[in-house]
Chain A
Amino acid sequence: MAGDLTEDIQAMERIAYHMYVRGFLSLLELKGLIRDGCITYQNRYLYDPLEKEWNILSPSGGVRKRKGWEYDDWEKDYSSKNRVISEFLEIFEARTGEDDPGEGYSSGSAKPIVADAALLQKRFRGRLDTVRDRLDGALEAVVPGKTGWRDAARDFIHLEDDAIYDRVADQVEKGKGKGKGGFRLLWDLLEYDGYVFEDLVGPVISAYKRVLKGQQVEQLGDHKWILTQPEMRDVYLLVQSQAGLARAFGKMIAGDPELFGRGLATDFHSLAFRAGALYNASLRWRDRPHTPPANGEGVPTWIDIFELATPGAFSVAFHMDDVTVRSYLMHVFRVTQEKHHSLAQLFLRVLYDHSAGFDRDIEKRDFLEEMRTRVLSDSDDTVAKLEIVEKQRTAGRDHPYWGPFLEQLPVPKWRQLMRTWWEALGYDCDGEGALWLAEGQRWSRRIIGYEAYVDAEVFQESVDFVLGDFYALYCPRDWEAGA
């Protein structure tokens, strides 16, 4: 199953589970993504022993366990399987079947460990000492007069956002012209995520996730007890400092992108560029969705979001502005899913409807071949006038999800999209035969078992160049100067 997923879906899956582990995405949101088919169920994050206990204890669960798992309405579900998600039934089976759901499931058979506070402490002990220099350097720079990152962080997290911004901006300016200035120091601190443990679950981890998410003491509520552990207090200080820094950089990107660009130009930092471009894209998506690049904007060297976005970059972006980045992330999930399932099918449906008027399959095949030749070889103006291309464009504009994008797609890009689609279009036929026409007293050619299809691999390979607009992943052009 995992082998069938293409790389971008896998990349998004990694991001989703990382966000879940860090507490940015809730379990409910994650389950929603699984239900919509954006990601697959993975035991190593989601296996819940308590849930299984409940299944056995409840009357229906007990009966189901004895009888073995049966599903009544499988035909209906199977027929709509392509739309739902191909793994959905198997997930259901894996979770409710007689066998141990951990066994034989391809998404990783490892189960998470239910952690207590002692285990968490043990895992974390001594980790921060290895990066002490990095933490000291960054935090002492923004809180002068303090020695040691703990003291500095204690002061730092109580500062107002404006004050933090002033100090960060000051650091970025100061670093100008140096090899390793303040900008790089701060981003080195932001890059640290040694406190994330992906394989732990349980009530302690629920509380720990609140800390990782960047919630402050007063927001922790019932989970405040976790701060009684000294190691957890360290994590709290560190995450709060990182969140404060990230907010300041977020403010800088929104308000003074030139300054951020200057920071990148002097001390280029990969995470800074990634997180900055993501946050910029989120802001852009919120304010001006579906718009082509403006004058000062350029497409990053990374062509699409799947090469640019890392879990770490998204985490920092989440610290910058939770709401904006969350809606952008959900858009990226949705567009990835739709790209794989609906875009090519949308145009294929038009072709099917159009060729339904033909009496015989051989006419459909001839039509397909002729149109493909014309789209790929004729001049763009001639192609645009073709009836089928016109119909496809109308259908695209009427689509609830792709409509707003295709509406604003510039003409050359639209032609590129069409060319990509027709290139990927193919057909299957079992063979060719002949039919005796009694009236005409002649043999007429026919084909048997004809079916037109879009080769998903070919289509996906080249469609990203067109859909770059849809991801709206542009950044100010001068940001890349330091890269």
Chain B
Amino acid sequence: MALRYKLGRGESCSLVIDDDSISIEHAVLFDFEEHLRIEDVSRNGTFLERKGVRRKLTRFAVEVLQDEDLLFFGFYQQPFPAKQLTEVIRNLRHPVGSQRIRCPVHGVIYLESKKCPLCPK
């Protein structure tokens, strides 16, 4: 099961980038063992540059990242290499919010590795 990391401007995000064009919760990174995936949840968009071609990610669609990929968030011009992001999040001892998921039916928070305690088995 993957761990989830929020990236955005908000204090509760695991990865905080303090720029006005970046949403409070801008993107969600999923750390699978072998690779990273990203889901854009922002207003101003997330851009992926692969082999010199830059494109905007579809909102709420999960994309698999490769090590040489570059990411751009909102209108912030700084590129973020996917490899560097992977290193940063794997250095975190207690990843914030990564294990907690809210059950869409019952609204309870449970650990990601377990099922919702109220849902039928």
Interface on A for B, CB 8 Å cutoff?
429-436, 438, 441, 443, 445-448
Contacts and interface: CB of A to CB of B under 8 A. Distances in A.
Given A434-B89, A445-B91, A448-B96, 14 more contacts: A430-B96, A430-B97, A431-B95, A431-B96, A432-B14, A432-B93, A433-B16, A433-B95, A434-B92, A435-B16, A436-B17, A436-B18, A447-B94, A448-B11
Contact of A432 (B12, B18, B78, B92): B92
A312 B84 CA distance: 72
Nearest to B99: A431
A446 B16 contact: yes
Contacts, number: 53
B88 A429 contact: no
B76 to A, nearest CB: 9
Contacts of B11: 448
B98 interface: yes
A116 B62 CA distance: 81
Contacts of A447: 94
B17 A432 contact: no
Residue with the highest number of chain B CB atoms closer than 10 Å, among A436, A446, A448: A436
Contacts of A445: 91-92
12 contacts: A430-B96, A431-B92, A431-B95, A433-B16, A433-B92, A433-B96, A434-B15, A435-B16, A436-B17, A438-B19, A438-B78, A448-B12
Contact of B98 (A431, A434, A436, A438): A431
B57 interface: no
Contacts of A432: 14, 92-96
B92 to A, nearest CB: 4
B94 A429 contact: yes
Interface in B88-121: 88-89, 91-98
A436 B18 CA distance: 7
Contacts of B18: 435-436, 438
A200 to B, nearest CB: 50
A432 B16 CA distance: 11
Residue with the highest number of chain B CB atoms closer than 10 Å, among A430, A431, A446: A431
B52 to A, nearest CB: 22
Contacts of A429: 94
Contacts of B89: 434
A449 to B, nearest CB: 8
Contacts of A434: 14-16, 88-89, 92
Contacts of A448: 11-12, 14, 96
Contacts of A436: 15-18, 78
Contact of A433 (B13, B19, B78, B84): B13
Contacts of B91: 445
Contacts of A431: 14, 92, 94-98
Main secondary structure of the interface of A (DSSP, over half): strand
Nearest to A431: B96
Contacts of B93: 432
B98 A433 contact: no
Nearest to A436: B17
A253 to B, nearest CB: 58
Contacts of A443: 15, 84, 88
A441 B79 CA distance: 11
Residue with the highest number of chain B CB atoms closer than 10 Å, among A429, A433, A443, A446: A433
A447 B78 CA distance: 24
Given A445-B91, A445-B92, A448-B96, A433 B14 contact: yes
Nearest to A435: B16
Closest 4 CB pairs of A and B: A431-B96, A433-B14, A436-B17, A432-B92
Contacts of B17: 436
A433 B14 CA distance: 4
Nearest to B16: A435
Contacts of B94: 429, 431-432, 447
Nearest to B84: A443
A436 B11 CA distance: 12
Contacts of A438: 18-19, 78
A360 B6 CA distance: 20
Nearest to B95: A431
Nearest to B22: A436
Contacts of B78: 436, 438, 441
A429 B84 CA distance: 25
Contacts of B12: 430, 448
A416 B15 CA distance: 42
Nearest to B11: A448
Interface in B47-103: 78, 84, 88-89, 91-98
A109 to B, nearest CB: 34
A413 to B, nearest CB: 36
Residue with the highest number of chain A CB atoms closer than 10 Å, among B17, B89, B96: B96
Contacts of B92: 431-434, 445
Nearest to B96: A431
A438 B15 CA distance: 13
Contacts of A435: 15-16, 18
A445 B14 CA distance: 10
B18 to A, nearest CB: 7
A429 B93 CA distance: 11
A212 B57 CA distance: 86
A301 to B, nearest CB: 46
